[in-house]
Structure 1
Amino acid sequence: MEVYNEKVLYENPLLSLRIFQSQREDNLLINWHYHRELELLLVQSGSMEVFVEEDVFKLEAGDVAIIGANQLHRDRSSAERLDYIVLQFDLEQFFDHSTMPYMRYFTETNHPLSQVNYIFKENSSVKEDIGDCVREILSEATVKQTGYELAVNMLIKKILLLMLRNDKRKVLAEQEDFDRVRLRPVLSFVEQHLTDRIQVEEVCKLANMSYYYFVKYFKKSIGLSFTEYVNYRKIKWAERILLTKDLSVSEVGDRIGMPNMAHFYKMFKKYNDCSPKEFQKRMLAWGGRSS
């Protein structure tokens, strides 16, 4: 079986997504592939079969399907003309400090995200709402009016919210709101001390937990280890500094509490697939184009 890792190229570096409309007229079977982005398919006309590991989803006009990050998949169109929209996006980039606790619902630690496709079969209004969101994202990304990045960001979050609120089978591994309330002092502490070297031992006391219980509890509640979360928040802050302050890369590293340049570069590349300097050039160049 031939399998390939698809590299999804983003048109706008400010938005970690790709969306396009495609047409096919032959009975074509696409090879097995995967990518780190989530994928949403919306059929405009015609029909297709989507194979996701051991599941098969038959889609017709108006149907949508979601494929999880790194899920192996392929699709086949029928002999009739097929018109469909593909939306691919990096989930992590659409969560900020206030919404990060909800990312754990979509990290697929218990079930692959494709299992929520039952929602679209059982709830036609949700299917239509998500289809409308996908069309709006395509329109915004095509026309590119001022602030379209904000519109796309809101529409992505609306899609996630629709799935979360309509997951009657609890595939998205719901936990009590108590978890988020209990960790709120910890998340606030992290935001206030991003310039420092934050130790797990410090924050355990804020949550009134032992070290080992806190480590497990945080990972279960947030979907990231505490260290991963802190590094993620530091890199997000570094991105803002690179775009708003006239500082060298080493100064930015110092500002976010990552004075070791090798570690800073490694963490930055993990989340952006480029160096801090490359990120800065790319973003500022795009800003100049869209102004």
Structure 2
Amino acid sequence: MQHQGGSSNLEVINEKVAYENPLLSLRIFQTMRDLEGFTNWHYHKQLELLLILEGNLDVYVDEESFHLTTGDVMLIGASELHRDRSHNIIDYIVLQFDLEPFFDQSTIPYMRYFSETQMPLSKANYIFEENSAVKQQAASYIKQLLDEATHKETGYELAVSVLIKQILLLLLRHDSRNVLIEQDNFDRIRLKPVLDFIESHLMDRIQVEEVCKIANMSYYYFVKYFKKTIGLSFTEYVNYRKIKWAERILLTKDLSISEVGERIGMPNMAHFYKMFKKYNDCSPKQYQRKMLLWNRQ
């Protein structure tokens, strides 16, 4: 993989990625192109990994360009502007996924490493360029992901989740330049009582002032510290966890939408709908219908 500077001012497309299984915020497919030419500049909220099975592909990310050949793996961050150019026949795998669903209460502090708070995620591609063993391992995980998503054997959702986490762990463990990692375990340990409190009080209206006492921090310091450590503001994190709980209730309990809102401490229906749509691109009722349709297939 070689890269250099380069950019262009053309029409930009906000790509909406459709998921086959609504329970898995992921799309993976193998595709072949036999025409030479550029795609349009585009971006999407999902992370993207490319694996070149055969051929050559030039990928342009903002001001940089990467030349990929057979066996190369490339990472493109959420909302990073990119386009590519194929040369004759190319066979490759595209993996796109949302970060949030693959992190739970215990691992969510690691999500910020992949949320590009400091620099574009594409800067981490040096890991694949400089370590062929890591590149080969990532390629193996991507192929396994495609196989699991294609054949859908019992428990494939578990396998997919594990493989995504393996790829993220691979990047974290081999980030010798600390492009992703720039904090120690102390921050996560210090916030554990706060995260535990949030999980056990999701049905309540959680006040920041109350949590500041648990963390033994002033309001101003806590708000900054939480955002720095988790990668989300305190309010964003609480809303995110509430919506994740709402998803579980919608799939497992026979409750009305308003009862679900009450259960998760969001009795204001307009607010509940707004937050739910933010994380799922659909209303709670639409989410329920999508799940029922998927389970019948």
TM-score, normalized by length of structure 1? 0.98
**Map of 1:72 onto structure 2:** 81
Q: Aligned letter for 2:13?
A: Y
In structure 2, distance between residues paired with 1:53 and 1:170: 21
**Map of 2:6 onto structure 1:** none
Deviations 1:218-268 (A, max 9, x none): 000000000000000000000000111111000000000000000000000
**Map of 2:161 onto structure 1:** 153
Task: Give 1:287 shift.
Answer: 1.9
Q: Where do 5+ consecutive residues of structure 2 fail to align?
A: 1-9
Task: Give 1:285 shift.
Answer: 2.0
Task: Give 1:284 shift.
Answer: 2.2
**Map of 1:34 onto structure 2:** 43
Tell me, yes or no, if structure 1 residue 141 matches structure 2 residue 149. yes
**Map of 1:58 onto structure 2:** 67
Does the CA-based 8 Å contact 1:48-1:59 persist in structure 2? yes
In structure 2, distance between residues paired with 1:97 and 1:285: 29
Task: Give 1:176 shift.
Answer: 1.1
**Map of 1:121 onto structure 2:** 129
**Map of 2:53 onto structure 1:** 44
- Secondary structure of the corresponding residue to residue 48 of structure 2: strand
Task: Give 1:173 shift.
Answer: 3.7
The one of 177, 191, 202 equivalent to 1:169 is 177
* Identical pairs, percent: 70
Q: Where do 5+ consecutive residues of structure 1 fail to align?
A: none
Does the CA-based 8 Å contact 2:26-2:97 persist in structure 1? yes
The one of 198, 213, 222 equivalent to 2:206 is 198
**Map of 2:232 onto structure 1:** 224
Deviations 1:77-126 (A, max 9, x none): 112x2100000111112111111111111110101000000000111111
Task: Please report the RMSD computed on the Cα atoms of aligned residues, expressed in angstroms.
Answer: 0.8
Task: Give 1:288 shift.
Answer: 2.6
In structure 2, distance between residues paired with 1:111 and 1:284: 40
Number of matched pairs: 288
Does the CA-based 8 Å contact 2:172-2:181 persist in structure 1? no
> Structure 1 residue runs of 4+, over 2 Å off?
none
- Secondary structure of the corresponding residue to residue 49 of structure 1: strand
